[in-house]
Structures are given as structure tokens and as C-alpha cells.
Amino acid sequence: MPRIVHVTPKYRRHKASGQAVVTIAGRDHYLGPWRSKASRVEYDRLIGEWLAAGRPPSHAELCQSDLTITELAAAYWRHAKVYYVKDGRPTGEQPGIKIALRYMREYYGHTFAVAFGPLALKAIQGKMIETGNSRRYINHLVDRIRRCFKWAVAQEIVPVVVYQALATVPGLRKGKTEAREPDPIGPVPEAVVEATLPFLPRSTADMVRLQRLTGCRPGEIVLLRPCDVDRTGTVWTYRPASHKTQHHGRDRIICIGPKAQVLLRPYLLRDADAFCFQTERANQNKTAGGRYTSRSYHQRVHSACDAADAKAHANNPEVPKDDRLVPRWAPNQLRHSAATEIRARYGLEAAATVLGHAKADVTQVYAERDQAKAAKIARAIG
């Protein structure tokens, strides 16, 4: 870490200008005419502020720290592998952190961490743009780099001024950067879903149908267990043991209406703590594990889309093979489909309620009101 300086900066004469000067933390401060009363008062004020701040070192002294970006990245990755874990599995944040740290190491690995400033971060932004990443993705990666330095400050291995300087770098704004804009994620057409379903195993097809009816997240459908479903009312409720917003203190409740109940009922015959939807191999071997993950569910849907597209081309040989007849879609788009339908029929607030988009600080009174509204909508649409 930087050497602590105990010598008080001296009141000196600047020969070229005839003024009094004092150098504090590597910066010259001109005080006024040499030996004047006003210059003495200004000197005392500046020295008093410097002492009150704890004798902060200069930038050159800060850069005496020998911690490199490569060493910082390795330390933060050790922390991330332990911190970004949910239900015993790495969260989706870990791959993003790894990519952000890779950019740091590749372009500034031998740089001292205390010398990594806003210009370096902007240079990395530029490299990310050149690589062809989307604007929003770049902003996420840059935020992860800043978060690395924020963690380092909390560990007292990097001075706070380094993180404060990096915080001044703004995110890329739409229309103000050469970074490409990602294609918007919208609802998947019902015809496309129907064309895909025959190429999915029955249990996976039921996952798709159930997700479409309830608007739940892919991560919530793969974690569904009989013990998590309350079947006492006409509208069942599913409380995921783990969900995306639980770290905000938000209780996630998914309402299951009559149509969804018909789909789900056979899978509730499993052991109470077994996952309702399991992979084909697990079903064949009758094992208790082998559940889908969000990623494997996504991949299974993509494979079915490809199979459906191949069959469509076989039935329409005049269409070039490069032109997809059944486009690929992702399970998360089913939430968009559900939201679009609910918003059209019941309004924006109702869609936010069913999909669990309320903020973490919503009061219990509003939670009860939202729950009643969500149950009413589930009863109507299935």
C-alpha cells in the first residue's frame, strides 16, 4: 500500500511569479504575494484541510502500490465464485464477471490497480464496441468492472479514489454510441409455439404450456416441486423456494388457474420434494434428480425449433434452407406473451402484478391487494 507521508508541505516562494506556493499531494497551490498576510491565511487553510483529511497521499504515491490488475482480477474472481451462488449452483452473474475480468487482464493486466483510471475504462469500452457487443451488454460488463474495484476498496487493497474516478465514466447511451442495439425480446407467436411443441418431450411441452398460462420465469418452472404448491383454493398458488427477486425481500407468488392445474396435476404425484419436471434421462431411470436448468430448458426448446424448421422445409422444398420457417425462440419469451395478453385484457398494472414486477419496498397492504388481483386473473385465463 502507499507510503504514509508525515512531512508537512512547506510555504515557499515561486521565483518566476513572485507568489507564495505550497505543494500538497503533488499539486501546486498558489497563495498570493510572497510573505503577505493573505498568503499565510490561505496556506494555513489548505494545510488544515489536508491534515483534517488524514494527510491523503499524492497520485504518484498511490501508484507505489504493486498490486496489478491481473492480481486484483484473480482475487475478485475467488470472491465471485463463492458469493454469486444460489441453491448450490453458480448464478448467471458468474460468466459475465469472468468476461469482464478477461477484458481487464487482456488489456491492462500488468498495470497497477491504483493507476487504472477513467481513460483505461473508456478504452476497454471501446474494445468491447469493436468486438461487436451490444450497448446494453457493454454497460453490464463495465458495471461489473466497477463492482470489482468497489469490492477492492471494501477490502482496503485499492484506495477509494480509484473507484470514485471510475464511477464518473457514464454508461453508453442509446443513439450516442457506435455500439449496436440488441434486437428487442418480444412475445413468441402462438403459431410458432404450436409448431414447436410436437418436437418436445411431453413433460417439456407441458412446461411450455404451463409457463405460457402462468407467465412464470424459466427459472421458476424448472424448480417447481409438489411441496411448493398450495392446492387448498380454487386457484392454486406456487411459492418458489428460490426466485430472481428474493434478495430484495420480495415474496414471489405464482397463481395457477384451472387450465394450468390440469396440466400440472400429473406431475404433483411425485415425491413432495422432487422436481416436477425432470429430463428425459431422469424420467427413464426414475431418478429423483436430473431436473432441468434454465439453460438446458432453453437448449431443449432450441433443438425442437430446429427440428420443426427442418420438417417445415421438407414440406416446402421450394423455400431456401437459409430462410427459417420456424424461428428459434426462448422460454423467457413466453413471459412476454403472457404479459402482452394480460396487459391487453386487464391493463399494465395487472400484467406487472401477475409477472411479479413490483418493487421490493411494496407494503404488505399492496401485496395482499396484488395477490387477490392475480388470483382473479388466473381464474379467468386458466
DSSP secondary-structure letter at 251? P
- Looking at the fold, whether 220 and 361 belong to one and the same domain comes out as yes
CA distance 228 to 98: 34
Q: What is the pLDDT of residues 112-143, one digit of tens each?
A: 998 899 999 999 999 999 999 999 999 999 99
Residue ending a domain, among 132, 166, 200, is 166
- Whether the CB-CB separation of 219 and 245 falls below 8 Å is answered with no
Q: How far apart are CA 280 and CA 264, in angstroms?
A: 17
> Which position has the grid cell 394480460?
342
Q: Are 235 and 375 in contact (CB under 8 A)?
A: yes
Q: What local confidence, expressed as pLDDT, does residue 202 receive?
A: 92
- Give the range among 41-55, 209-223, 248-262, 274-288 with minimum mean pLDDT: 274-288
| Inside any domain, residue 182 | no
SS3 90: strand
pLDDT higher at 53 or 67? 67
Mean pLDDT value of segment 132-156: 93
Query: Are 30 and 126 members of one domain?
Result: no
DSSP annotation string for 116-133: --HHHHHHHHHHHHHTT-
**Which span out of 25-34, 340-349, 373-382 was modeled with the highest average pLDDT?**
25-34
Same domain (yes/no): 369, 246 = yes
> The domain that contains 121 carries what CATH number?
1.10.150
Residue 179 domain flag: no
283, 204 Cβ separation under 8 angstroms: no
Q: Do 38 and 126 belong to one domain?
A: no
Do 224 and 256 fall within a single domain?
yes
Domain boundary among 128, 150, 166: 166
User: Does residue 286 have a pLDDT over 60?
Assistant: no
134 contact partners, CB below 8 Å, separation of at least 6: 179, 180, 181, 182
In a domain, 369, yes or no: yes
In a domain, 260, yes or no: yes
CB atoms within 10 A of CB 193: 20
What is the CB neighbour count within 10 angstroms for residue 357?
Answer: 13
> Cα(176)–Cα(214) distance, rounded to whole angstroms?
38
Statement: residue 38 has pLDDT above 90: yes
Number of domains comprising the chain: 3
Rg (the chain; Cα; Å): 29
Identity of the residue numbered 335: R
pLDDT of 285 strictly over 50: no
Q: What is the rounded distance in angstroms from the CA atom of residue 327 to the CA atom of residue 309?
A: 7
The CATH number of the domain where 357 resides is what? 1.10.443.10
Residue 200 scores a pLDDT above 80: yes
Distance of CA 22 to the CA centre of its chain: 47
Are 89 and 105 within 8 A, CB to CB? no
Question: 49 in a domain, yes or no?
Answer: yes
* Rounded Cα gap, residues 250 and 157, in angstroms: 34
Whether residue 366 sits in one domain with residue 217: yes
Task: Looking at the structure, tell me whether residues 255 and 129 fall in a common domain.
Answer: no
Reported as a pLDDT band with limits 50, 70 and 90, residue 354 is low
Please check whether residues 77 and 57 belong to one and the same domain. Answer: no
- Give pLDDT, residue 326: 92
Strands 27-33 and 19-24: what pairing? antiparallel
**Residue 181, in any domain of the structure:** no
Enclosing domain of residue 141: 69-166
pLDDT of residue 355: 65
255, 300: one domain? yes
Mean pLDDT over 172-201 rounds to: 88
Is residue 300 within 8 Å of residue 204, measured between CB atoms? yes
Report phi then psi at 381, rounded to 5.
-100, -10
Q: Is the pLDDT of residue 172 over 80?
A: yes
Residue 56 has pLDDT above 50, yes or no: yes
Cα dihedral 188, 193, 194, 196 in deg (nearest 10): 150
Do 245 and 291 belong together in one domain? yes
To the question of pTM greater than 0.85 for the whole model, the response is no
- State whether 74 and 39 are in the same domain: no
Instruction: Evaluate if residue 349 carries a pLDDT over 80.
Output: no
Please tell me the distance from the alpha carbon of residue 159 to that of residue 148, in angstroms, as a whole number.
13
Considering 24, 39, 62, which residue would you say is the last residue of a domain? 62
Dump pLDDT digits (tens) for 68-116. 999 999 999 999 999 998 777 788 899 999 999 999 999 999 999 988 9
Smallest CA-to-CA distance from 197 within 215, 212, 187, 219 is with 212
- Dump pLDDT digits (tens) for 157-170: 888 889 999 999 99
Structure-block grid coordinates of residue 200: 418436445
Same domain membership, residue 73 and residue 58: no
19/37 Cα distance (integer angstroms): 12
* 197, part of any domain: yes
Q: What is the pLDDT, as a whole number, of residue 179? A: 86
347 assigned to some structural domain: yes
